[in-house]
Amino acid sequence: MEKHTLPRNDGLSCSSFHELDPLAPDDLPETLGKDLSFLLRHNIFHPLSHVDIPPPLRSEFLVLNPGEPLSSSLGLLEKLLSEGRFLVAAQFASSILTSSLISPTDIRLIFSLFYTRLACLELCGNTVLAAQESKALEDLNSTFYYIDSSFDDSEVGKQHEKPYPHLPRHIVPWPLRILAVRLQSIGFGDSRRSIGGLYEIGLEARREIMKKESSEAERKIWRERLADLGIRSVNALVEMGDLDAAKRSLEALQASNEDTEAMKLRKALLFLRIGDLDAAERAFGDSRESKEAALLKPLLSMSEGRYQDAVTEWRALYEDTQRSDNALVGQNLAVCLLYSGRLDEARQLLEAQVSASQSFGSLIFNLSTVYELCSDSAGKLKGQLAATIAEQPVSGQTNLDRPNTDFKL
């Protein structure tokens, strides 16, 4: 399936660059004394290189102009993100973090830039580097990262015109905390750390749901977060290879009326990955009309090795002009054609997706595999594929700094 990217509707504008978390405090008082200079050290950030990117797709790293104001630099970083230049954005984010433009007490901006750095590294295939750099955060459950209830609310209110209502409160944005849990487990070489970290913040989510002063809108967000944590914990167990524990945990996740179709699909995909096809089919219950539920039938056919049936089912979805995920459906159809021995059809279909500028990472990888199977000049074809993609208009939906591994070079 398509690699996860930073969606454009999460764009980081200069005025709201640090607004990663809708439940974050409106402002953090300076009297907290939180000095994040330990995240601004040059030795935290690894040097990046274009060596692993095909030449047609390479773009120059940007140099921070000392004379430019911070707002201009943030605007340029936003432009890189909106274009999908994630490797260049990762380098530029670290340049801002280590510059004199950033105050060590500008907590929200520092965390947002650090999150951008880690997320972009992961999106452009440098997960190991991101994991090493995430260790600089150290223990996110330490008291340093919480606003303590002993602070004088009246004094804060004088400074910010309203009392600070949510104490204690974690000062790190939720997306960074979630990302750091997985990356630190990789960085420290301890897969169990990921499970423990998810359970720790899950307890916090439960406490927030139970708070009397929380609004219904806030409770809804926390319930969605708790459901997401449950899925992530199961996925972590699968990555550890403990499929029995993963199955028990997934079955223990209570079905909720608030579950979106996307959440049901995530549960179904995990059941498929575990190998429980019956449970995957039950994941949607009586709901079979949504576009997510429609994906389940051909996926089940693929899981059972019935590729001819899957071809028919994927083709029916592919010909549905009302669907917005035709590129993904078309790729799965091409894979089933490949497994059915219809190599030429699979190649034509994948090349048609590229011609339509639908060239995400897994599609490129699959087309490169087809080139290896059908031609003695696969290397030349892959080079031409890279050149074709480099000339396509920028959509901002996928990573433009594609590594050689996407092309199997």
More confident of the two residues 355 and 149: 355
pLDDT exceeds cutoff 50 at 2: no
Q: How far is Cα 364 from Cα 53, in angstroms, rounded to an integer?
A: 14
Within a domain: 81: no
Within a domain: 289: no
- DSSP output for 35-49: --GGGS-GGGSPP--
Q: 182: helix, coil or strand? A: helix
pLDDT exceeds cutoff 60 at 102: yes
Surface-to-core class of residue 14, CB atoms within 10 Å of its CB (0-12 exposed, 13-18 middle, 19+ buried): middle
pLDDT exceeds cutoff 90 at 252: no
Structural domain of 404:
295-409
Within a domain: 252: no
Within a domain: 136: no
Across the chain, mean pLDDT equals: 85
Could you report the per-residue pLDDT of 209-223, keeping only the tens digit for each? 888 887 888 899 999
Cβ contacts of 202 within 8 Å, gap of 6 or more:
226, 229, 230, 233
Q: How far is Cα 157 from Cα 165, in angstroms, rounded to an integer?
A: 10
User: How sure is the predictor about 407, in pLDDT bands with cuts at 50, 70 and 90?
Assistant: very high
User: How sure is the predictor about 47, in pLDDT bands with cuts at 50, 70 and 90?
Assistant: very high
Name the least confident of 78-92, 163-177, 219-233, 340-354. Answer: 163-177
CATH code, domain carrying 331 = 1.25.40.10
Q: Say how many domains are in the chain.
A: 1
Within a domain: 140: no
Within a domain: 300: yes
Within a domain: 395: yes
* Prediction pTM value: 0.87
- What's the mean pLDDT in 54-76? 91
- What's the mean pLDDT in 117-143? 94
pLDDT exceeds cutoff 80 at 168: no
Within a domain: 344: yes
